[in-house]
Amino acid sequence: AQSVTQLDSQVPVFEEAPVELRCNYSSSVSVYLFWYVQYPNQGLQLLLKYLSGSTLVKGINGFEAEFNKSQTSFHLRKPSVHISDTAEYFCAVSVGQGGKLIFGQGTELSVKP
């Protein structure tokens, strides 16, 4: 069975600094990978996804992620964060087009002035 591990539960960072949120997955078959952001008391908003093709995926709000099959990772990066990026970030994986979405534990990004 597939699983997702987000290695950091909390990431504090200063405004305009770069950030990386780490995500590793385990699966014996090909997967689709996603990053979502959740603001308090709201649903999830898709930041980016990897289905196939280029391993570097660019998303909304200046975020990007790189799919690394050999390391089974899909880390999320942003070169310069803003206060408004403070939120919970979830990495998720689905197996094939028929698969359900499995989430990591979440990473709380806290951007300080």
Distance of CA 16 to the CA centre of its chain: 19
Does residue number 15 form part of the binding site for other proteins (CB under 8 A)?
no
Does residue number 27 form part of the binding site for other proteins (CB under 8 A)?
no
With b for 16 or more beta-carbon neighbours within 10 A and e for fewer, the 47-76 pattern comes to bbbbeeeeeebebeeebbbebeeeebbbbb
Q: CB nearer to other proteins: give 32 or 77.
A: 32
Does residue number 46 form part of the binding site for other proteins (CB under 8 A)?
yes
Does residue number 13 form part of the binding site for other proteins (CB under 8 A)?
no
Query: What is the smallest separation between the CB atom of 77 and other proteins, expressed in angstroms?
Result: 20
Candidate list 25, 31, 34, 111; residue touching other proteins; CB under 8 A: 34
